[in-house]
Amino acid sequence: MNAHSLDAVILAAGKGTRLYSDSPKVLRPILGEPLLQYVYAVLEPVVGAERVHTVVGYRREEVEQAFPERARRFILQREQLGTGHALQVAWAALQEASARWLLVANGDTPLLRQEHLAGLVQLRDEDVALGFLTVTPEDPAALGRVVRGGDGGVRAIIEAKDYDASLHGDAKEVNAGVYLFDMERIAPLLGELKNNNNSEEYYVTDLVGLAVARGLDVRAVCCGDDSGLLGVNTPQELCDAEELLRVEILDAWRRAGVVARQGESIRIGPRAKLSPGVDICGPVEIYGESRLGSGVQIQSHVVLRDAVLEGCIIKNFSHVDGAVVHERCEVGPFARLRPGTELRAGSRIGNFVETKKTVLGEGAKASHLTYLGDAVVGAKTNIGAGTITCNYDGVNKHVTQIEEGVFVGSNTALVAPVRLGAGSLVAAGSTVTQDVPPGWRAFARSRQKNVKRDKDPC
């Protein structure tokens, strides 16, 4: 066993009753990402993705669905009897990983940073048995207090429900819930955890007092008044954490050369990437793996999720979800691009147009009131207002092929599978059920018949 080998475990089994949701606490989103994602993003670069374990319990199936690539390293805590019990349940699996040291963090700490962990991980060089992070918030009333002796050394952590200032002193330093354990020396103490407290739970914090009683070296690494380390337990704390992250991310992109107007109404998720020269005017929301290249302009009231944009304009009130938009394209206003859409250079999607699994060729346009689903549209084709591709027959989806230079008149229904040949024309109001040869014109509508009304409307 490597003397410095390091694993990590995230405690993520709780419901989070004070967040008033039936969803697992660690799946509550901030900036479009679940709380647990932020903790993974911090721990995995420190210990390696394959060495991060997660204790799950409440609605574990939902957590597994949210993180399928990590589920094989999940450890089930069937009964949620406290943080100490979670560690007891996980211990056998953690020992099999053969690491000497163990980092423990809660799954509701989106503001945890690698720099916070640096001082903790460094304690391995000093052969400390147990280390943990602390903070000194303005109001420590509802938090576990760190009790120190006259020499300044750590003596115990007392949970808020059990804290008595007359017995423990007026401690201002509180536990942040992030620990480093020497697994060899802490293992014998796990069996000594008791639940004789006001919550009737097994606390991981009790390991501190047990370790001190055994004469082991216990250290607290104070992170000042950084109360963001304390995790998310209430709706107010959820919103506060999100706002702190929102401002932090926005400021970083501004420093990197992004123009962000109306910044107080711009929300950018942690996985999004923006190039210098991107110009955004809020309100705007950018989530997931969105990638915005230089020259992209985003007008107000736009929502992007997993969007890849290159030198294009996204106009007001448009949604781009899982779509690729190339240079010189215009989208919107009031457009919706759904997953699988690709707009090639110079194409245009106008107001009240929706696309799904559709490729729009260079210079093609669909300017008004159109639905294009499972379609391939050739270069320089014009799609008239009110056109729809009828791609679903009730069982299967079918593809509409529209070749280059096609003109599709307004109020047209294209019943897939169907192909419109290059340079063909479809008359307005047609319902097309058969292929149209290249260069031909299609009329698929009944002849107009005028009949005099029986009663004069005037």
Amino acid at residue number 399: V
Q: How far apart are CA 12 and CA 87, in angstroms?
A: 11
Q: How far apart are CA 124 and CA 102, in angstroms?
A: 10
What does the pLDDT read at residue 457?
62
Q: How far apart are CA 195 and CA 81, in angstroms?
A: 9
Q: Does the pLDDT value for residue 88 go beyond 80?
A: yes
Q: 55 CB contacts (<8 Å, ≥6 apart)?
A: 9, 10, 11, 12, 13, 74, 75, 76, 77, 86, 87, 89, 90
| Token reading at 326 | 């190339």
More confident residue, 369 or 168: 369
Q: Does the pLDDT value for residue 172 go beyond 90?
A: no
Q: Which of 397, 427, 424, 434 is nearest to 412 (CA)?
A: 427
Over range 97-120, report the average pLDDT.
Answer: 94
Of the given ranges (60-64, 128-132, 134-138), which has the lowest mean pLDDT?
A: 134-138
What does the pLDDT read at residue 45?
96
Residues in the chain: 458
Confidence of residue 278 (pLDDT cuts 50, 70, 90): very high
φ/ψ (deg, to 5) at 228:
-65, -20
Q: Does the pLDDT value for residue 43 go beyond 90?
A: yes
CA 92 remoteness from chain centre? 31
Provide the annotated active-site residues.
368
What does the pLDDT read at residue 455?
75
Does residue 85 contact residue 104 with C-beta atoms inside 8 Å?
Answer: no
What residues form DSSP beta bridges with 286?
268, 304
Q: What is the overall mean pLDDT for the chain? A: 94
Over range 65-72, report the average pLDDT.
Answer: 97
Domains of the chain, CATH where assigned: 6-230 (3.90.550.10), 248-442 (2.160.10.10)
Q: Does the pLDDT value for residue 1 go beyond 60?
A: no
The pTM for the full model equals 0.92
Q: 61 CB contacts (<8 Å, ≥6 apart)?
A: none
More confident residue, 283 or 227: 283
Q: Which residues of 189-199 are buried (b: 16+ CB within 10 A; e: fewer)?
A: bbeebeeeeee
Q: How far apart are CA 264 and CA 318, in angstroms?
A: 20
Over range 216-223, report the average pLDDT.
Answer: 95
Q: How far apart are CA 201 and CA 14, in angstroms?
A: 13
